[in-house]
Amino acid sequence: MKYTWTSEADCDILEISGNLDSNSAPAVSQCLDEYCAGTPRNLIIDLAQVDYISSAGLRVVIKVNHTQTATGKKVMLCGLKEYVREVFDMAGLSRILDIRDDRQAALA
Amino acid sequence: MSIKPGITFKAVSLFLLLSVSILTAVHLYSYLVSRRIIVDMAEQNSRGIGGTIVHQIAARITPVETIIRNIAATLENPDLSDEAIFELTRSIVARNEAIFASAVAFEPYAMIDDQLYFAPYSYRSGDQIVTKQLGGADYRYFHQDWYQLPRLLDRGVWTEPYYDTGGGDILMATYAVPFYRTHKDGSRQPVGVVTADISLAWLQQLLAGIELYDSGYAALLSSSGMFLYHPDQQLVLNETIFSLAESLGDRELWEIGKDAIAGGSGFLERVSYQNRQPSFFYYRPLPVGDWSLCFLFPRAEVLRDITGLTRTTLVINLLGFLVLALAITWLTRRLTRPLINLSHAARSIAGGNLETPMPTHGGNDELGQLTVSFSEMQRSLRDHIEQLTETTASKERIEAELRIARNIQMSILPKLFPPYPERSEFDIFASIKPAREIGGDLYDFFFLDQHHFCFLIGDVSDKGVPAAFFMAVTKTLLKVVADQYPDPGAILTKVNNDLAEGNESCMFVTLFIGVLDLRTGRLVTGNAGHNPPVRLAAGTEPALLPSPQEPLAGAMSGITYTSQEVLLAPGDFLFLYTDGVTEAVSADGTFYGEERLLREISAAGAQRAEQLVGAVDRSVNDFCSGAEQFDDITMLCLRFIAPTDRETTAATADENAASATLAATGERDTITVELRFGTKLTALDDLVGGLAPLKTDGQLTERDHYQMRLALDELITNTVSYGFATGTGSGIEVTITLWPGHRYRIVYRDDAPPFDPVTVSVDPEQRSTEAANFGGLGISLVTTIMDAIDYRWKDGHNVITMTKNLTDRPDNDNQHHREMA
């Protein structure tokens, strides 16, 4: 699992690749905690390269969404693969989180 | 409130009201009549007094008039000398005491040719009689009233009275008569007037002396309406009746004056102008000088006697009424006292004291009869209540016995759940909610052998103790017969024959029997007229189990019942119920119905048999809230979790060879994967490797593979993070059995401290806000993915058994869409 940061005009993008399970989630979580502790802007999390996500990964997303929303910043998810998307559906999170098809849709 | 004041008050009021009305009418009438009589008498009285006065006046006046008229006749003699005429006037005064003065006045030049005036005049002056000649430049008598009027009217005339200033303010009046002489040409010519002056002082005294009641008085009017006499001296010779009427604005008085001087008379009621008192007024003409006499007297004085009489009568009446009221009060109280006593007694009886002594009332009147009737009623009530007490006691005894019978009936149904905690293949729960009246619902379940589980439900088509007996007999019979016959159809055929034999009371029972082979999920059923059960297969809508139309049991022997087969998949529910469920009635009279039942089962989202029964039970309760329950409500739910696993099968193979053979044939097509994991999270990486072959072999689609990995990931994470984190436990064993193209079963065992993930339930809506509380999220994903999940604590291990129908299997195309919804 690895992740990379990029910045656009009015937002930051975190691109994650690999599996997002109990093993890898803490690293991403810590990275996002640090980001939120700094000067966060609107955030796009690109999951196009994530093949697998478990509830540990969902928790990371829920947590950053919670923190950002509290300060009036947005969190968008994009590029979810079919089965990853189904996990969000099963957990009932699709209605709560802002999920876009791909990065272009998120930046629009 | 006592009835005593009521009757007394009413009686007194009524009597007094009537008496007062009658007496008032009588008094009013008699008063009016008496009054009229008295007023008539007053009028008569007035007329009488008036007549008397006229007579008295006439007696004084008539002689004067006669004398003067005779003198006038004498003067018609032309041979009378001057001296004789002088002497004549003198003798008139001298001879008539009533006459104060007298004159004989001639026409100009009538007596003496060269003398204009000739009018000898004699009058009293003290005791002397003085005679003188009237007339002269300062007293041209031809123009005086006393000279003109008689000549013009050609008769004797009384002049308007006047005060004699010379004789000491005496009211005087003059009577003048014309006299005539025959002319040379033979015609009668008026030649003069002879007069007599009389004092009216006596007239005033006469009128002042009249007594009319207390304050009545008389008045005298001249021919011009001048007051000649009135008690008020201001009016006399100063005012006429017309000037008075004018100053008072009294039109009526004016009219009276007009009528009076015209010679009219009248009696009327009017208000006195002096003191405004209602008064009677009487007037009539006098035979002297066209004068009028008036009387006025207060009405109150006239009616004084009758008013006094009325007052006295009223006082007597009031006293009479008082006596009457007292008498009536006394009488009604005397009459109602026994009634009041009786009323007190009746109230005491109504209050529950049936021993209240009845008041003794001598006599055979209505009250006596009423008292007797009351006594009889009291006696009847006492007898009736004694009877009722006995009846109630015996009825209570019967009810108590019925209650015991009911308890016994209920106690023969299995009530202990879970009944087979050691069996992991299925899960069963049943409930019965008895109606108030004894019903005949029954259910039962038992193992026929190691692998065949029999369960049944039934409803005796009647109520009461006979139904309870029939139900007990049916249940016992079923238990015995089921052990001896191979399938439900045969069981029903035998039971029907046994029940029908000697069924004197013609009772029937509907029955549904199922026998489930726990190794395969094969279910064989038989149905004798019972409601078809509901099958809830994982991922589908609940549906009624197809069922043949076969008659209910016990009615007729010789019926052959058939058996039907259906294959239950792991996770399938079978819900059995009696018509107490579907025919439950709500407060507004509608039935619960099959559709509602199917909806509730679908919506329940139950994981266990007990949850499904509980959900339906709550729904029926809510639906019927407030309405009486008429029938037993009985439900039985069986959930097939998974076929018997191989270890158990193997362990029991020796005991039942036939079953082992069946299991062996069943497992020919399965793929089994066994995995072991340590106590660290690295287990998740091992999991990826362990599941990889299932995907590469093409046995699982990508989605099923992903979901299997996710479910195991979550369980392992859970066990490692919470179970092993406490320090105990050595690892996890997972056995996956896959029926390619159909389903898989996972048995997950760990030796961490006991933890039941099935009871963990988290509402998805809560997750975004409760960021810190993610505990249930993983487990929630597991239960969502799996069709059935079961947890047990067994031999120091957590054992979770899960089954899942493959999402892309041919018979379940809609699975994917349902989860996406």
If DSSP states are collapsed to H, E and C, what string results for B272-322? Answer: CCCCCCEEEEEEEECCCCCCEEEEEEEHHHHCHHHHHHHHHHHHHHHHHHH
Chain A residue numbers touching B707 (CB-CB < 8 A): 83
Q: What was the ipTM of the complex prediction? A: 0.91
Distance CA B299, CA B296 (A): 9
pLDDT at residue B98 above 50? Answer: yes
How are strands ordered across the β-sheet holding B522-528? B441-447, B452-460, B509-517, B522-528, B564-567
Q: Do A93 and B781 touch (CB under 8 A)?
A: no
Average pLDDT over residues B425-446: 89
Chain B residue with Cα closest to A56: B778
Chain A residue with Cα closest to B777: A55
Q: Percent of chain B scored above 90 by pLDDT?
A: 25
What single DSSP character describes residue B463? -
The beta-carbon contacts of B329-337 under 8 Å, at least 24 apart in sequence, are B329/B8, B329/B11, B329/B12, B331/B11, B332/B7, B332/B8, B332/B11, B332/B12, B333/B4, B333/B8, B335/B7, B336/B3, B336/B4, B336/B7, B336/B8, B337/B4
Quick check: helix, strand or coil at residue B471?
A: helix
Same domain membership, residue B694 and residue B628: no
Angle between helices B241-248 and B251-261 (to 10 degrees): 170
Strands B452-460 and B534-536 come out as unpaired
Which residues, in sequence order, are CB contacts of B156 under 8 Å at separation 6+?
B65, B68, B69, B150, B175, B176, B177
Note whether B425 and B486 are within 8 A (CB): no
Residue showing tokens 């896959």: B738
Chain B residue with Cα closest to A53: B710
Size of interface A-B (CB pairs under 8 A): 74
Closest CA of chain B from A5, distance in Å: 24
Rg of chain B in Å (alpha carbons): 71
Give burial (CB, 10 Å; 0-12/13-18/19+) of B176: buried
Considering CB atoms only, which of A66, A87, A96 is closest to B781? Answer: A87
Q: What is the per-residue pLDDT across B187-214, written as a single tens digit (0 to 9) for each? A: 888 889 999 998 888 888 888 888 888 8
At residue A88, what are phi and psi to the nearest 5 degrees?
A: -60, -40
Q: Do B765 and A87 touch (CB under 8 A)?
A: no
Instruction: Look at residue B525 in the predicted model and tell me its pLDDT.
Output: 94
Closest CA of chain B from A70, distance in Å: 11
Average pLDDT over residues B94-118: 87
Average pLDDT over residues B555-571: 89
What single DSSP character describes residue B645? P
C-alpha angle B184-B189-B190 in degrees, rounded to nearest 5: 145
Count of residues making up chain B: 821
Closest CA of chain B from A8, distance in Å: 27
Q: Report the CATH number that the domain containing residue B468 is assigned in CATH.
A: 3.60.40.10
The type of residue at B143 is H
Residue showing tokens 């010779």: B237
Residue showing tokens 């009597």: B15
pLDDT at residue B771 above 50? Answer: no
Which residues, in sequence order, are CB contacts of B196 under 8 Å at separation 6+?
B64, B67, B68, B92, B96, B99, B101, B102, B174, B175
Instruction: Look at residue B819 in the predicted model and tell me its pLDDT.
Output: 42
Closest CA of chain B from A47, distance in Å: 16
Same domain membership, residue B217 and residue B189: no
Quick check: helix, strand or coil at residue B641?
A: coil
Quick check: helix, strand or coil at residue A24?
A: coil
Q: How many of the other CB atoms lie within 10 Å of CB of B212?
A: 20
Instruction: Look at residue B664 in the predicted model and tell me its pLDDT.
Output: 36
Where would I find the H helices in B501-628?
579-582, 594-604, 609-624
What single DSSP character describes residue B409? H
Structural domain count, chain B: 4
Closest-CA residue to B558 (of B623, B493, B503, B615): B493
Q: Choosing among B781, B804, B815, which should be mutated to test the A contact, i.e. which has the most A CBs within 10 A?
A: B781
Instruction: Look at residue B165 in the predicted model and tell me its pLDDT.
Output: 66
Considering CB atoms only, which of B713, B768, B769 is closest to A54? Answer: B713
Q: What is the pLDDT confidence band of residue B773, given thresholds at 50, 70 and 90?
A: very low
Note whether B240 and B227 are within 8 A (CB): yes
Q: Do A66 and B771 touch (CB under 8 A)?
A: yes
Residue B166 lies in a domain: yes
Tell me, yes or no, if B713 comes closer than 8 A to chain A by beta carbon: yes
Considering CB atoms only, which of A56, A58, A90 is closest to B717? Answer: A56
Instruction: Look at residue B638 in the predicted model and tell me its pLDDT.
Output: 95
At residue B452, what are phi and psi to the nearest 5 degrees?
A: -110, 120
- DSSP string of B560-571? PP--EEEEPPTT
Instruction: Look at residue B179 in the predicted model and tell me its pLDDT.
Output: 92
Q: Do A92 and B767 touch (CB under 8 A)?
A: yes
Instruction: Look at residue B813 in the predicted model and tell me its pLDDT.
Output: 42
Closest CA of chain B from A60, distance in Å: 10
Sign of CA dihedral B457, B458, B464, B467: negative
Q: Do A54 and B784 touch (CB under 8 A)?
A: no
| CB < 8 Å from A in window 662-691 of B | 681-682, 684-685, 688
Distance CA B358, CA B392 (A): 29
Q: What is the pLDDT confidence band of residue B166, given thresholds at 50, 70 and 90?
A: low
Q: What is the pLDDT confidence band of residue B820, given thresholds at 50, 70 and 90?
A: very low
Note whether B288 and B63 are within 8 A (CB): no
Residue at which a domain ends, from B151, B176, B199:
B199
Q: What is the pLDDT confidence band of residue B645, given thresholds at 50, 70 and 90?
A: low
Quick check: helix, strand or coil at residue B1?
A: coil
The rounded Cα B57 to chain-centroid distance in angstroms is 86
Distance CA B198, CA B288 (A): 12
Residue B322 lies in a domain: no
Same domain membership, residue B760 and residue B708: yes
Average pLDDT over residues B405-418: 84
Q: What is the per-residue pLDDT across B446-470, written as a single tens digit (0 to 9) for each? A: 998 888 999 999 999 888 888 888 8
Q: Do A54 and B778 touch (CB under 8 A)?
A: yes
First to last CA, chain B: 76
Same domain membership, residue B541 and residue B480: yes
Same domain membership, residue B489 and residue B630: yes
At residue B32, what are phi and psi to the nearest 5 degrees?
A: -65, -40
Note whether B578 and B531 are within 8 A (CB): yes
Instruction: Look at residue B332 in the predicted model and tell me its pLDDT.
Output: 83
Note whether B693 and A32 are within 8 A (CB): no
Quick check: helix, strand or coil at residue A49?
A: strand
pLDDT at residue B342 above 70? Answer: yes
**Domain spans in chain A, listed from the N-terminal domain onward:** 2-107
Strands B266-271 and A2-7 come out as unpaired
The type of residue at B458 is G
- The hierarchical CATH code for the domain A2-107 is 3.30.750.24
Same domain membership, residue B702 and residue B596: no
Q: Report the CATH number that the domain containing residue B155 is assigned in CATH.
A: 3.30.450.20
Note whether A94 and A88 are within 8 A (CB): yes
Residue at which a domain ends, from B278, B302, B326:
B302
The rounded Cα B301 to chain-centroid distance in angstroms is 62
The type of residue at B46 is S
Quick check: helix, strand or coil at residue B245?
A: helix
Which residues, in sequence order, are CB contacts of B638 under 8 Å at separation 6+?
B426, B427, B428, B445, B455, B514, B516, B573, B574, B576, B609
Q: What is the per-residue pLDDT across B207-250, written as a single tens digit (0 to 9) for each? A: 888 888 888 889 999 888 999 889 888 888 888 999 999 998 88
Same domain membership, residue B241 and residue B207: yes
Distance CA B646, CA B651 (A): 8
Quick check: helix, strand or coil at residue A75?
A: strand
Closest CA of chain A from B694, distance in Å: 17
Chain B residue numbers touching A55 (CB-CB < 8 A): 714, 717, 774, 777-778, 781
Considering CB atoms only, which of B703, B774, B784 is closest to A59? Answer: B774
Q: What is the per-residue pLDDT across B777-801, written as a single tens digit (0 to 9) for each? A: 888 888 888 888 888 888 888 999 8
Same domain membership, residue B498 and residue B621: yes
Instruction: Look at residue B652 in the predicted model and tell me its pLDDT.
Output: 40
Chain A residue numbers touching B785 (CB-CB < 8 A): 90
Q: What is the per-residue pLDDT across B9-40, written as a single tens digit (0 to 9) for each? A: 887 888 889 988 998 898 899 889 988 998 89
| CB < 8 Å from B in window 27-66 of A | 52, 54-56, 58-59, 62-63, 65-66
What single DSSP character describes residue B644? P
Structural domain of residue B266, as residue ranges? 203-302
Q: What is the pLDDT confidence band of residue B775, given thresholds at 50, 70 and 90?
A: low
Distance CA B433, CA B171 (A): 133
The type of residue at B694 is L
pLDDT at residue B812 above 60? Answer: no
Considering CB atoms only, which of B709, B768, B784 is closest to A62? Answer: B768
The type of residue at A10 is D
Same domain membership, residue B453 and residue B600: yes
Distance CA B219, CA B208 (A): 9
Q: What is the pLDDT confidence band of residue B809, given thresholds at 50, 70 and 90?
A: low
Residue B329 lies in a domain: no
pLDDT at residue B321 above 90? Answer: no
pLDDT at residue B428 above 60? Answer: yes
Where would I find the H helices in B673-730?
683-696, 702-718
What is the greatest pairwise CA distance in chain A? 34
Same domain membership, residue B598 and residue B574: yes
Residue B663 is inside which H or E element, if any?
A: helix B657-666
Closest-CA residue to B252 (of B227, B273, B225, B274): B273
Q: Choosing among B700, B708, B717, B807, which should be mutated to test the A contact, i.e. which has the most A CBs within 10 A?
A: B717
Count of residues making up chain A: 108
Same domain membership, residue B108 and residue B88: yes
Residue at which a domain ends, from B174, B199, B224:
B199
C-alpha angle B132-B136-B138 in degrees, rounded to nearest 5: 110
The residues with which B747 forms a beta bridge, in sequence order, are: B735, B801
Average pLDDT over residues A49-66: 91
Same domain membership, residue B114 and residue B228: no
Which residues, in sequence order, are CB contacts of B712 under 8 Å at separation 6+?
B687, B691, B734, B746, B748
Tell me, yes or no, if B154 comes closer than 8 A to chain A by beta carbon: no
Instruction: Look at residue B791 in the predicted model and tell me its pLDDT.
Output: 85
pLDDT at residue B574 above 90? Answer: yes
Mean pLDDT of chain B: 84
Q: Choosing among A19, A20, A22, which should be mutated to test the B contact, i.e. which has the most B CBs within 10 A?
A: A22
Here the tokens at position B222 are: 């001249």
Q: Do B768 and A93 touch (CB under 8 A)?
A: yes
Residue B813 lies in a domain: yes
